[in-house]
């Protein structure tokens, strides 16, 4: 049994590493969004210039930041949670809440989002969907694919949460949780 738990913990670490890396990478989009928005404003009001593709890029970056960063936020427990009761729970009870919440709420919602979005994304790919605006960005189909990516990343983070919760319930505390955040 120890070997199975150890293997599961390594899988959880891999899933968390993926979400950590992607979350940190996509966080740079917030800076780029500010810079591009500033450029759009200066170009428009100072030089009377504007490009639809530049304005749309802010929307794409904003969407990518939230869709790809959602699992990173969950990993770092930055999601909205009603802590009125949770903070007073013992570590064992918190592990149960995290595990059951992931199994009964998070994972079914992720699977639902993935399944309900599949045809939407496939249709967009089949059309090689681009912007509806003249001069807008091509590759809307790539952007829509991030919906599936979000569901997948949240799902693997949920699996990691379940594994960590099970480990905690079995009395194991791993070095990932007690050490630094990477």
Query: Is residue 147 in a domain?
Result: yes
Query: Is residue 181 in a domain?
Result: no
3-class secondary-structure state, position 181: coil
Query: Is residue 178 in a domain?
Result: no
pTM for the full model? Answer: 0.85
The DSSP-derived string for 95-150 is HHHHHHHIIIIIHHHHHHHHHHHHHHHHHHHHHT---SSTT--S-HHHHHHHHHHH
Predicted confidence at residue 82, as pLDDT, reads 66
pLDDT in tens, 42-81: 999 999 999 999 999 999 999 999 999 999 999 998 777 7
pLDDT in tens, 102-120: 999 999 999 999 999 999 9
pLDDT in tens, 121-173: 999 999 999 999 999 899 999 999 999 999 999 999 999 999 999 998 988 76
Predicted confidence at residue 85, as pLDDT, reads 79
Answer yes or no: are the C-beta atoms of 12 and 30 closer than 8 Å: no
Distance of CA 164 to the CA centre of its chain: 18
* CA 171 – CA 182 distance, rounded (Å): 23
Closest CA to 140 of 59, 80, 51: 59
| Residue the block writes with tokens 């936020």 | 73
For the chain, the domain total comes to: 1
Query: Is residue 179 in a domain?
Result: no
Residue 103 is given by DSSP the state I
Query: Is residue 180 in a domain?
Result: no
Parent domain of 19: 2-173
Query: Is residue 167 in a domain?
Result: yes
Predicted confidence at residue 178, as pLDDT, reads 41
Query: Is residue 182 in a domain?
Result: no
């Amino acid at each position: 049994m120890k070997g199975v738990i150890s293997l599961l913990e390594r899988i959880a670490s891999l899933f968390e590493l993926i979400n950590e890396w992607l979350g940190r990478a996509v966080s740079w989009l917030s800076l780029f969004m500010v810079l591009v928005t500033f450029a759009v404003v200066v170009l428009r009001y100072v030089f009377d210039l504007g490009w639809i593709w530049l304005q749309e890029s802010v929307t794409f970056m904003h969407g990518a930041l939230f869709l790809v960063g959602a699992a990173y936020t969950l990993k770092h427990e930055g999601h909205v949670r009603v802590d009125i009761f949770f903070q007073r729970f013992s570590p064992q009870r918190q592990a149960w809440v995290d595990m059951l919440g992931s199994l009964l709420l998070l994972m079914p919602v992720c699977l639902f989002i993935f399944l309900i979005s599949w045809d939407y994304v496939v249709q967009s790919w089949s059309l090689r969907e681009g912007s509806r605006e003249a001069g807008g960005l091509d590759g809307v189909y790539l952007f829509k694919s991030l919906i599936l990516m979000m569901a997948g990343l949240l799902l693997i983070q949920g699996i990691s949460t379940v594994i960590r919760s099970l480990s905690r319930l079995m009395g194991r505390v791993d070095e990932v949780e007690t050490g630094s955040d990477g």
